[in-house]
Amino acid sequence: MDPLVIFTPSGKRGRFPAGTPVLTAARQLGVDLDSVCGGRGICSKCQITPGSGEFPKHGVTVAAQALSKFNNVEQRYDRVRGLKKGRRLGCQARVQSDVVIDVPPESQVHKQVVRKAAAERDIKMDPATRLFYVEVQEPDMHDPSGDLERLKTALAEQWQIETRSLRADLPVLAKLQPALRKGKWAVTVALHRGHADLHERILDIWPGYLETRLYGLAIDLGSTTIAAHLTDLGNGSVAASAGVMNPQIRFGEDLMSRVSYAMMNPGGDAEMTTAVREALNGLTADIAAEAGIDAAQIVEAVFVCNPVMHHLLLGLDPVELGQAPFALATSDALSLNARQLGLNAMSASARAYVLPCIAGHVGADCAAVALSEEPQKSQDLVLIVDVGTNAEILLGDKTRVLACSSPTGPAFEGAQISAGQRAAPGAIERVEIDPATKEPRFKVIGSDLWSCDPGFAEATAVTGITGICGSGIIEAVAEMRIAGLLDASGRIGSAKDTGTARAVPQGRTHAYILHDGTANGSPRIAVTQGDIRAIQLAKSALYAGARLLMDELGTDHVDRVVLTGAFGANISPKHAMILGMIPDCPLDKVTSAGNAAGTGARIALCSRTARAGIERVVNEIHKVETAIEPRFQEHFIAANAIPHATAPFKELRKVVDLPSPDFSTGAGADSGGRRRRRRG
């Protein structure tokens, strides 16, 4: 009987005649074993580890010499490059007798990449672009044919690739002939086939066997910042990450002011398109330099962005997005030549994929969040909030998913706040207020110490204490509420009302001094009545959006809440709930998913299956338009109170005592129920 070959971890098995190369057996059984050189012993992608001894689970005993001895090719490879102990080249090692063969993760094409996040999930590699080594027939006077035609034949014969409609753009054709001759009729080609493409496309070509890696950029194109992950298309690992400010800020801080700029200035949209494309080219060059790779190795880019950024990236006038009915030029996913987007710092043939938009206000960034967090697979009802100047909200479970966006404005990012600033060293990011003494303590970005800790002044001497960022203002307002410095309507009490000299008059209202900076030259940082109002407007918009989706589903509770976005990831769930930004639910069910949109972009970059999947999911997401929904206004008004005028927030009250002072008459604070344990 022929020897039995069993592959792990797949468990695939079959019998093969003695002398069969392991790679051949793997291919016949459909085992996921990588190869770029087609079994010529050049690429080393096919490494495997043969087992020996008893395998009771598989019912075999493997002899010590179940595979052929190290041959010359393996010996040379081991000498020159080094093979890990116990490893063999699958294309060289031949089956001798029954054997169990392990395919290590790095030798699998469709390897799993484990993502470290709150909800851990694997990415299955299925990149659109891969490398293939081929040996091409030399030209023959008696059998005239073009070099490209013979390359196609070689790809079909050696890799079983359907090449009848294979495409090669002019820049690739220009490289073809020199590469073939320099490589002595052997070349490495990068082939691309998107999930919706009918044909393969040659993206690049190199003489001989090229020991290289291909990369893609996963780009989260935000209105404030542009973040990119340089990702290895072979194994999904992130080689470098970088971010730059979006230069369009000079045309307007927020999205609507950029749309207005395009409306008011002929050619303004083109100016903004040029600005963002230039920034992307700079970012591409920088990130390649940081990773120490040639930018021409970047062959793909995936974009996630809100609808306005989407149009400005594509060179489409965003004017329709500034007015009802907020029509997008297209909401479909786009697969393009990156050069069409002016992306000329990467490979000349690089491809760009833009995720689909969900609606005129709910962009490809929200689709990327859905790709990362998969609400459509959730067993329980999950509310996912991407907190930004325009919050994008998803609510649903495996039966149905809804989406909307809500205009929260820039208050959560520290704008419109008297001492507000972006999250940067020196910004207050954590705040606690003792409910008995009303004294605050805080942490600033760049130091782990609380302001009351010894050494705090020295630790912050360089950065100073410069302002308060989004997460800081949220904690400050929430802490003021539980310390009885703020009533439910959002009014700050006077010194007499609250019993602290930190409550100082400011015009007809009051402010709470968080940091009296005059002593050390840093600015005085106070939370003013205007700040509270700005936060109330932002949080009411967020809550109203979520509540509208809950109405649509006919529910008044959610099982869990996921906060995402660069800012959302830093918000303390307890403080967000005290503020009433999000609906009541058990605090341990409020989690952060980090930058889920960026993660979604990376998943789409690594997997064609994921691209096809999210396009299907987006088609099924039900869009709710907040701008025309009368109940939005009702919910907005009710959500103005802290945490809420009518919703009981029972779960929150199980863990936090909320006092109920009323400062509307200057009558003073109530004294009951306001003792609480300090955090941490």
Q: Select the span of 44-52, 472-480, 521-529, 623-631 touching ligand FES (CB under 6 A).
A: 44-52
E runs forming strands in 16-111? 47-50, 53-55, 60-62, 88-89, 99-102
What sign has the CA pseudo-torsion 390, 118, 433, 435?
positive
Question: CB of residue 38 vs ligand FES: minimum separation in angstroms?
Answer: 6
Nearer to ligand FES (CB atom), residue 92 or residue 349: 92
Contact between 466 and ligand FES per CB under 6 A: no
Question: Amino acid identity of 6?
Answer: I
The contact mask relative to ligand FES for 650-669 (x = CB under 6 A, - = no) is --------------------
**Site residue total, ligand FES (CB under 6 A):** 14
The span from the first CA to the last CA of the chain, in angstroms, equals 68
Binders in 236-295 for ligand FES, by CB under 6 A: none
Assigned token pair, 451: 């302001």
> Do the Cβ atoms of 223 and 255 come closer than 8 Å?
yes
Binders in 194-223 for ligand FES, by CB under 6 A: none
Question: Does residue 48 sit in helix, strand or coil?
Answer: strand
Question: CB of residue 36 vs ligand FES: minimum separation in angstroms?
Answer: 6
Nearer to ligand FES (CB atom), residue 90 or residue 484: 90
What phi-psi label fits residue 577: left (phi over 0), alpha (psi between -120 and 50 degrees) or beta? Answer: alpha
Question: CB of residue 91 vs ligand FES: minimum separation in angstroms?
Answer: 3
Q: Select the span of 31-39, 215-223, 496-504, 596-604 touching ligand FES (CB under 6 A).
A: 31-39
What is the rounded CA–CA span in Å between residue 47 and residue 34? 8
Among the listed residues 20, 45, 127, 205, the single contact to ligand FES using CB under 6 A: 45
What is the rounded CA–CA span in Å between residue 399 and residue 140? 62
Contact between 617 and ligand FES per CB under 6 A: no
Contact between 43 and ligand FES per CB under 6 A: yes
Contact between 46 and ligand FES per CB under 6 A: yes
The contact mask relative to ligand FES for 83-102 (x = CB under 6 A, - = no) is ------xxx-----------
Contact between 304 and ligand FES per CB under 6 A: no
Q: How far from 454 is each of 70, 121, 372, 449, 460, CA to CA, in Å?
A: 65, 42, 42, 8, 12
What is the rounded CA–CA span in Å between residue 543 and residue 536? 10
Nearer to ligand FES (CB atom), residue 10 or residue 337: 10
> Do the Cβ atoms of 387 and 408 come closer than 8 Å?
yes
Among the listed residues 14, 41, 243, 586, the single contact to ligand FES using CB under 6 A: 41
What is the rounded CA–CA span in Å between residue 88 and residue 318? 56
Q: Where are the alpha helices (DSSP H) in 134-267?
A: 147-159, 170-182, 255-264
Question: CB of residue 294 vs ligand FES: minimum separation in angstroms?
Answer: 23
Q: Select the span of 43-51, 514-522, 590-598, 672-680 touching ligand FES (CB under 6 A).
A: 43-51
Nearer to ligand FES (CB atom), residue 89 or residue 542: 89
**Interacting residue ranges for ligand FES, rule: CB under 6 A:** 23, 35, 37, 39-46, 89-91
